[in-house]
């Protein structure tokens, strides 16, 4: 951990389709993400943003299409034994998804204890450093139920960082957080980008956050990528959904 | 617009759901049994679950067994008043070892520990904790189900012996203090030992093993298939207990029929 070399992986999605009973959520998503880039995926509720993340991390399989991460077909990557995988992926869930019966330190070090090759002392040190990075040193022995929502999110980020992943996926990392905590999480994600160079994909409704952090922003509309551009280009977009997002974000910032 | 299914359609849907649940439970059972050799590595987690099962069942199990043994003697004494109270020992001994001990303890385990398993795994499923494990390359079956399965399967036969012992002594207590019962306690035990064979204990223990598997796999199956929020967790927990009770009784009948000579 704490290796500051740039070690992100490329993510290539082509023709991703996903249907649940009679509703097709993803209708052919194509997206190429360069190594080390931070990409935000924007879209209205129910447009399949979280579904797309679940396909990338392998929690669900697409009905059609191809996912290649770090030059490896996702299916092949998922079939590899944990110790032989050429890179690591981690996901920060919307509700943090910390194991309620484990302490903060046990949650952060879980993957290392199960699959890592480090000894107990090294794991303790990695855990301490991961918690320091998210400014939660000293909470090692607390249970998730003793933490605030923002702290739980940061522990979830520390859990992801502990395995030094080349790809980190965030599902609505600032959902249900007040503006101050949202800014804190934003700063934290920005620091991770600078320090580690991992590829990061953030699903969010928060346009200001996306424009501040992301190298590129993908707008998901009706199961397809409607727009994929830099934050600057997004401001000049003629796409109706993007315009609507920009208008809503401006109103929110004005407090209307 | 899709037409609402009629009574036959709804019945068919229920049958399909029952088959799906049975299929999922069987699949989970096979996957769990395959992972049991890893219990040596995961012994800490198995031991933790054993302690949980024990603390959730021991006291209430003792109370249940004591009163069931006592009630058995009083009920049987009324039935055999025109024959001989000498049969009280064999009645209590055989009932406890072959039937009441295993079934009662299995119900207790399913109701207490099994419902907790369904609720815990259900909550973990709903709140993405199971998915978080998967993203960390941690197999939820090995991490969560196998220790619970082994703990219940190992604990239930021990609980059956424990229940047999307390039930038999509960009966002995009534024989000793109830003025309606005229046989001495020694005679109660002598007749019991004449009738209760080692094979009867083994039948009870075998039932304990099978019921322990049911009382853990069924709740884990329901826990892992939980959908929806708090309501989904509640309905999964209830369904897990009801299904466990039904399957325990079905397997009880099958085992009794198979061991009938």
Amino acid B218: pLDDT: 98
**Max Cα–Cα distance, chain A, nearest Å:** 55
**Cβ–Cβ gap B129/A82 under 8 Å:** no
- Measured between CB atoms, which of A85, A94, A111 is closest to B138? A111
Total domains in the fold of chain B:
1
Residues of B in contact with A110 (CB under 8 A): 136, 138
The mean pLDDT value for A203-221 works out to: 90
The verdict on A157 and A173 lying in the same domain is no
Amino acid A6: pLDDT: 59
Tens-digit pLDDT profile for residues A78-135: 999 988 999 999 999 999 999 999 999 999 999 999 987 788 999 999 999 999 989 8
What's the token pair of residue A107? 């949650």
- Measured between CB atoms, which of B131, B137, B143 is closest to A97? B131
User: Does residue A255 register a pLDDT over 80?
Assistant: no
Task: Classify residue A196: in a domain, yes or no.
Answer: yes
The verdict on A21 and A136 lying in the same domain is no
**Residue A244 near residue A47, CB atoms below 8 Å:** no
Confidence of residue A27 (pLDDT cuts 50, 70, 90): very high
Altogether, the residues listed in chain B come to a count of: 261
**Cβ–Cβ gap B131/A59 under 8 Å:** yes
Give B76 to chain A, closest Cα distance, Å.
47
**Cβ–Cβ gap B127/A57 under 8 Å:** no
Total domains in the fold of chain A:
2
CB neighbours (10 Å) of residue A47? 21
Task: Classify residue B7: in a domain, yes or no.
Answer: no
Residue of A nearest to B130 (CA): A97
- Give backbone dihedrals phi and psi of A225, rounded to 5 degrees, phi first: -80, 110
Looking at A91-95, A158-162, A206-210, B236-240, which range is the least confident one?
Answer: A206-210
Amino acid A251: pLDDT: 64
User: Does residue A146 register a pLDDT over 70?
Assistant: yes
Chain B residues with a Cβ under 8 Å from any Cβ in chain A: 120, 123-124, 127-129, 131-138, 143
Task: Classify residue B138: in a domain, yes or no.
Answer: yes
The verdict on A241 and A116 lying in the same domain is no
**Residue A65 near residue A15, CB atoms below 8 Å:** yes
Question: What percent of chain A is predicted at pLDDT more than 90?
Answer: 60
The verdict on A8 and A27 lying in the same domain is yes
Rounded Cα distance, A214 and B88, in Å = 80
**Cβ–Cβ gap A99/B137 under 8 Å:** no
User: Does residue A162 register a pLDDT over 70?
Assistant: yes
Rounded Cα distance, B210 and B206, in Å = 6
What's the token pair of residue A145? 């139920």
- Measured between CB atoms, which of B127, B135, B143 is closest to A57? B135
Task: Classify residue A250: in a domain, yes or no.
Answer: yes
Give B34 to chain A, closest Cα distance, Å.
17
Task: Classify residue A78: in a domain, yes or no.
Answer: yes
Task: Classify residue B83: in a domain, yes or no.
Answer: yes
Residues of A in contact with B129 (CB under 8 A): 97-100
Segments forming the whole domain that contains residue A107:
100-163
> What is the DSSP pairing of strand A216-221 with strand A167-171?
unpaired
**Residue B168 near residue B70, CB atoms below 8 Å:** no
Amino acid A4: pLDDT: 41
Task: Classify residue B74: in a domain, yes or no.
Answer: yes
Q: Could you say which of A163, A188, A214 is where a domain stops? A: A163
**Cβ–Cβ gap A95/B127 under 8 Å:** yes
The verdict on A108 and A233 lying in the same domain is no
User: Does residue A73 register a pLDDT over 80?
Assistant: yes
Residue of B nearest to A84 (CA): B137
Tens-digit pLDDT profile for residues B93-148: 999 999 999 999 999 999 999 999 999 999 999 999 999 999 999 999 999 999 99
Return the CATH number at A64: 3.40.50.300
The verdict on A116 and A227 lying in the same domain is no
Q: Residues of A numbered 45-64 whose beta carbons fall under 8 angstroms of chain B's beta carbons: which are they?
A: 54, 57-59
A157: CB partners within 8 A, 6+ apart: A92, A134, A173, A185, A188, A189, A192
User: Does residue A236 register a pLDDT over 70?
Assistant: yes
A185: CB partners within 8 A, 6+ apart: A150, A153, A154, A157, A173, A174, A177
Looking at A48-62, A180-194, B155-169, B238-252, which range is the least confident one?
Answer: A180-194
Segments forming the whole domain that contains residue B135:
21-259
- Give backbone dihedrals phi and psi of B160, rounded to 5 degrees, phi first: -65, -45
**Residue B208 near residue B233, CB atoms below 8 Å:** no
Q: Taking all residues of chain A, what is their mean pLDDT, rounded to a whole number? A: 89
**Residue B139 near residue B40, CB atoms below 8 Å:** no
Give B148 to chain A, closest Cα distance, Å.
15
Q: Residues of A numbered 64-93 whose beta carbons fall under 8 angstroms of chain B's beta carbons: which are they?
A: 82, 85, 89-91, 93
**Residue A220 near residue A53, CB atoms below 8 Å:** no
The mean pLDDT value for A16-35 works out to: 93
Task: Classify residue A93: in a domain, yes or no.
Answer: no
Please write down the HEC assignment for all residues of chain A.
CCCCCCCCCCEEEEEEEEEECCEEEEEEEEEEECCCCEEEEECCCCCCHHHHHHHHHCCCCCCEEEEEECCEEHHHHHHCCHHHCCCCEEEECCCCCCCCCCCHHHHHHHHHHHHCCCCHHHHHHHHHHHHHHCCCCCCCCCCHHHCCHHHHHHHHHHHHHCCCCCEEEEECCCCCCCHHHHHHHHHHHHHHHHHHCCEEEEEECCHHHHHHHCCEEEEEECCEEEEEECHHHHHCCCCHHHHHHHHHHHHHHHCC
Task: State the DSSP code for B3.
Answer: P
Confidence of residue A242 (pLDDT cuts 50, 70, 90): confident
Residue labelled with tokens 């551009």: A229
The verdict on A9 and A72 lying in the same domain is yes
Task: Classify residue B187: in a domain, yes or no.
Answer: yes
Task: Classify residue A141: in a domain, yes or no.
Answer: yes
CB neighbours (10 Å) of residue A176? 12
User: Does residue A254 register a pLDDT over 80?
Assistant: no
Give B131 to chain A, closest Cα distance, Å.
7
Sheet with A38-42: list strands edge to edge. A89-92, A167-171, A199-204, A38-42, A216-221, A224-229
Residue of B38, B129, B224 best to disrupt the A interface, most CBs of A under 10 A: B129
Rounded Cα distance, B164 and B158, in Å = 10
User: Does residue A3 register a pLDDT over 70?
Assistant: no
Task: Classify residue B4: in a domain, yes or no.
Answer: no
The verdict on A81 and A11 lying in the same domain is yes
The verdict on A57 and A124 lying in the same domain is no
* Residue among B240, B245, B33 nearest B117 (CA): B240
**Cβ–Cβ gap A93/B137 under 8 Å:** no
Beta bridge partner(s), residue B82? none
The verdict on A179 and A250 lying in the same domain is yes
Task: Classify residue B16: in a domain, yes or no.
Answer: no
Rounded Cα distance, A146 and A104, in Å = 10
What's the token pair of residue B42? 């995961």
Residue of B135, B140, B146 best to disrupt the A interface, most CBs of A under 10 A: B135
The verdict on A115 and A142 lying in the same domain is yes
**Cβ–Cβ gap A100/B135 under 8 Å:** no
Residue of B nearest to A112 (CA): B136
CB neighbours (10 Å) of residue A109? 27
Confidence of residue A241 (pLDDT cuts 50, 70, 90): confident
Task: Classify residue A142: in a domain, yes or no.
Answer: yes
Q: Could you say which of A163, A189, A210 is where a domain stops? A: A163
Rounded Cα distance, A92 and A169, in Å = 6
Please write down the HEC assignment for all residues of A64-86.
EEEEEECCEEHHHHHHCCHHHCC
Give B97 to chain A, closest Cα distance, Å.
37
Give B26 to chain A, closest Cα distance, Å.
22
- Parts of chain B with a pLDDT under 50: none
Residue of A nearest to B125 (CA): A97
Q: Could you say which of A136, A163, A190 is where a domain stops? A: A163
User: Does residue A12 register a pLDDT over 90?
Assistant: yes
Task: Classify residue B13: in a domain, yes or no.
Answer: no
Rounded Cα distance, B54 and B56, in Å = 5
The verdict on A82 and A192 lying in the same domain is yes
Residues of A in contact with B51 (CB under 8 A): none
């Amino acid at each position: 951990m704490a290796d500051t070399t740039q070690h992100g992986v490329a993510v290539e999605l082509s023709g991703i389709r996903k249907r649940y009973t009679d509703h097709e959520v993803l209708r052919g998503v194509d997206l190429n993400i360069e190594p080390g880039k931070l990409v935000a995926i924007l879209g209205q509720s129910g447009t399949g943003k979280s579904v797309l993340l679940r396909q990338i991390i392998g929690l669900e399989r697409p009905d059609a299409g191809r996912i290649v991460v770090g030059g490896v077909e996702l299916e092949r990557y998922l079939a590899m034994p944990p110790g032989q995988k050429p890179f690591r992926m981690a996901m920060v869930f919307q509700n943090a998804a910390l194991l309620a019966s484990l302490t903060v330190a046990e949650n952060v070090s879980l993957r290392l204890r199960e699959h890592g090759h480090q000894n107990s002392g090294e794991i303790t040190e990695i855990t301490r450093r991961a918690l320091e990075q998210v400014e939660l040193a000293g909470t090692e022995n607390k249970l998730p139920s003793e933490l605030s929502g923002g702290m739980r999110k940061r522990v979830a980020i520390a859990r992801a960082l502990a395995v030094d992943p080349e790809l980190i996926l965030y599902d609505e990392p600032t959902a249900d957080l007040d503006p101050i905590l949202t800014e804190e999480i934003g700063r934290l994600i920005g620091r991770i980008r600078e320090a580690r160079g991992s590829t990061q994909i953030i699903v969010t409704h928060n346009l200001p956050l996306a424009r501040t952090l992301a190298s590129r922003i993908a707008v998901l509309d009706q199961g397809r990528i409607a727009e994929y551009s830099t934050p600057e280009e997004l401001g000049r977009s003629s796409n109706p959904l993007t315009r609507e997002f920009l208008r809503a974000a401006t109103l929110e910032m004005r407090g209307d | 617009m899709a037409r609402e299914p009629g009574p036959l359609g709804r019945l068919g849907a229920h049958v399909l759901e029952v088959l799906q649940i049975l299929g999922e439970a069987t699949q989970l059972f096979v996957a769990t049994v395959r992972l049991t050799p890893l219990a040596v590595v995961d012994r800490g987690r198995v031991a933790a679950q054993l302690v949980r099962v024990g603390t959730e069942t021991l006291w209430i199990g003792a109370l249940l067994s004591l009163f069931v043994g006592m009630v058995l003697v009083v009920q049987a004494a009324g039935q055999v008043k025109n024959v001989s109270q000498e049969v009280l020992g064999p009645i209590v001994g055989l009932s406890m070892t072959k039937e009441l001990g295993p079934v009662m303890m299995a119900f207790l385990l399913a109701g207490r520990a099994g419902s907790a398993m369904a609720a815990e795994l259900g909550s973990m499923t709903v709140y993405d904790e199971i998915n978080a494990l998967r993203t960390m390359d941690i197999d939820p079956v090995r991490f969560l189900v196998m220790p619970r399965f082994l703990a219940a399967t190992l604990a239930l036969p021990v609980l059956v012996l424990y229940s047999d012992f307390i039930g038999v002594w509960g009966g002995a207590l009534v024989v000793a203090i109830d003025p309606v019962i005229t046989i001495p306690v020694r005679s109660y035990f002598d007749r019991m030992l004449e009738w209760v064979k080692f094979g009867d204990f083994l039948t009870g223990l075998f039932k304990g093993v099978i019921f322990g598997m049911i009382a853990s796999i069924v709740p884990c199956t329901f826990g892992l298939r939980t959908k929806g929020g708090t309501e989904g967790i509640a309905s999964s927990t209830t369904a897990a207990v009801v299904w466990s009770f039904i399957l325990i009784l079905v397997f009880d009948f099958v085992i009794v029929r198979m061991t009938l000579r």
